[in-house]
Each structure stands twice: as structure tokens, then as C-alpha cells.
Homo-oligomer: A and B are copies of this chain.
Amino acid sequence: MRILAHFSTLSEAVRDHIHDGDTVSLEGFTHLIPYEAGHEIIRQGKRDLTLIRLTPDLIFDQLIGMGCARKVIFSWGGNPGVGSLHRMREAIEKGQPKPLEILEHSHAGLVNAYVAGAAGLPFGVLRGYRGTDLIEHNSQVAVIECPFTGEKLSAVRAVNPDVTVIHAQQADRDGNVMLWGIVGIQKEAVMAATRAIVTVEEVVDRFEPRPNSLILSRLLFKAVIVTPGGSHPSYAQGYSVRDNPYYVAWDGISRDRATFLSWMEQNVMSPAGK
């Protein structure tokens, strides 16, 4: 616990803390998805990553389509309110641009895998997966018996990413981090990881108390990066709204590989003004 958070740049933080072959969690449940950090991972051409997110969302579609991933651990892989993630589907269905291994949970299962990871336990317990075919296709779920009642429950193996990346609204000057609104699984994803990095909308002198807010200690982060708009096209409550047209447009952009690649080139790899 002795290395304290420090302010950094996105290119430095991704270079120093994310390596080829790492297991990387980018969390944010619809809200506060760390898109900018994901794009920097793509720009730096990271390879063979095991990517973890409850909802892969467009950011994983982009990472997968650009060939960064060898495996995805997830629990719901759609474009919310729109339809499919075409790049992820093509990787699963046709092995394009490269074969993609998947490990598929339910939300409750993956949530409890993060909880166990954050708590330093090798597994979590839930009354889940019962009667489903998921359990047959997931070696990280097992039956466990209650030593008191004999009830059979599910154990899910902890996830402990090498790196977790999140986006938050604010950091203070010490590097403590505040997020509010839908807080999802970010605390557990950060605490389950060996290293964590956070992009924030801004740095403030003092946190103003907010409803439904969460403060994460500076002790948990290797790097804090000021990245306004870092969760676009998702949103940061109090700073931006979800860019629903982007999500709708993605369906057309991502359906065809060539269109996707040209869009990524223009908008992510060498965007105007970057």
C-alpha cells in the first residue's frame, strides 16, 4: 500500500501500467465508461489482452475489432437499446480479426467474482446460475454446499485483474477520487486489481458532498489522469449526457469491417486535433 497515487498523462499511464497479455478490467455500468483510456490502449496497439466488463459495450467492440483482445469475460454483450455488438459477434462467430475466447457470466455472478476479488477471497457465493446452461460453459462456476444447511449454491471464482481502469467525475489534489450517480461495480473492480488507474473530469480542491456518491481512497490508484469527456459516448453525471445517437449510429458503423476500420482511423487512431 505504500505507493501513492500520482497525476499522470493517459499515454504514460497506459504505457506504464498496461502490458501485452494483461487482464484488464474497464468498468462503468453504462455510466462513466472509460472510453478515452480504452482508445489509448488501442492507439498503443496493446495485444493479447483478457478484457473484463459486465457489459462490453462499444468500447470492447472497438478493442476487439482492432485486435487488442484474445479473451473477453463478460455478462451482457449487446449495444444497449440498439442491438448487437457486431465486431464482438464477428470475432466470436468467425474468428475475425482473430479468434476470441469468451468466458460468460451472469451479472450477479461476475459482480460476485469482483466482490471476492476485492475482498481477497478465492471465490464468491451466490444463489445463482441454477437451472441454466451457463454453468456448463464456465469453468469458473462450481457448486458449493452450505456447511450448516446443506443447501447447494454456486461458487464463482474471484477475478483479480492486473489492471482496472475507471472514469470518475472528480479527484482532489491528494488523488482521492469521487464518483456519483450510478456507481456500478467500480469500487470492487478497482479493489480487486493489482493496479488501478482512473481518468477524471476535473480536479477540485475539496469534494462537495453529493447524493449517491462514493469516494475511493488515493491509496487505491497508481495514476490519476485529468481527461475531460473521458467517458464519451457514455456520460458523466453532472458533466455530460449519454450520446444516444452515437450508440444508434454505431450499429451501422460497426456492421462492416471496412467501414469500422476507416471510422476508427478517423476518429480514434488519428483524430483531427489530436
A interface residue numbers (CB < 8 A to B): 120-127, 140, 142-144, 146-149, 151, 153, 155, 157, 207-213, 215
- Contact B209–A211 (Cβ < 8 Å): yes
Decide yes or no: A127 and B123 within 8 Å by CB, A142-B147, A155-B147, A209-B210 being known contacts.
no
CB distance from A112 to the nearest CB of B (A): 9
Report chain B residues within 8 Å CB of A209: 208-211, 213
Which residue of chain B lies nearest to A211 when distances are taken between CB atoms in the complex? B209
Partner of A125, one of B123, B148, B210: B123
15 contacts between A and B (CB under 8 A): A120-B127, A121-B125, A121-B126, A121-B127, A121-B153, A122-B148, A125-B125, A140-B148, A142-B148, A144-B147, A147-B155, A148-B155, A207-B211, A208-B209, A211-B215
Complex: A176 Cα to B252 Cα, angstroms? 45
Report chain B residues within 8 Å CB of A126: 121
- Contact A123–B146 (Cβ < 8 Å): yes
Partner of A149, one of B122, B148, B215: B122
Complex: A143 Cα to B145 Cα, angstroms? 12
